Amino acid sequence: MRTLAAAAVVAASLWAGASAAQTPPPEDPALIAYLRDRATEALDTTRYTAAITPDGAMTLVYLTGPNWCGSGGCRLLVLDRTGATYRSVGEISVARAPIRLLERQTHGRRDLGVYVAGGGITEGYEVAVPFDGRRYASNPTVPPAVRIQEAPGETLIRADEPGRALEPSPDKP
């Protein structure tokens, strides 16, 4: 009985630690400005979930809403940040969460794990989206993306995250 109780405490603390590690980053004014520029006509219907890779090198932004999603999934932006400026290093067209940072690397950057389903795919699966030296592949349903199973990595954006509303700038109507 003691062993069962101890196992429950350990499991609960691991779950709490995993949950804390997946907390979205604080709102970044530079990122909000970048997203507002991208979403111009869809500000009132856009939601986003952002995550920073553990090394701080990349920011992943999962956009949801009618302008960003279709039957196959939603848009995932892969951004590098220099100072207060964001630069796109990939835009994955039909991704579904969870979004993972995999241990495997291509051209010096870690592959991204995204889930694909819908849009004609009847049984969903996870794929590794590689970096080609300039950008991440844009369509996870065709090569160079490859189907994977149980690849080591960490979840950066969970499937159950509701996202934040992207609202118009306070100085614009």
What single-letter amino acid sits at 68?
A: W
pTM of the entire predicted model = 0.82
Helix, strand, or coil (residue 100): strand
Per-residue pLDDT of the chain in tens (173 residues, 90 and over written 9): 333 333 333 233 223 333 333 445 667 889 999 999 988 878 889 999 999 999 888 999 999 999 999 998 999 999 998 878 899 999 999 999 999 999 999 999 999 999 998 887 888 899 999 999 999 999 999 999 999 999 999 999 999 998 999 876 666 55
Amino acid identity, position 95? A
Q: What is the pLDDT of residue 169?
A: 65
What is the pairing mode between strands 109-118 and 85-106? antiparallel
* Cα distance between residue 1 and residue 15, in whole Å: 21
Q: Which amino acid is at 73?
A: G
Q: What is the pLDDT of residue 8?
A: 32
Give me the pLDDT at residue 118, please: 84
Instruction: List the one residue out of 154, 156, 145 whose CA is nearest residue 72.
Output: 145
Q: What is the pLDDT of residue 171?
A: 61
Rounded Cα distance between 46 and 166, Å, is: 6
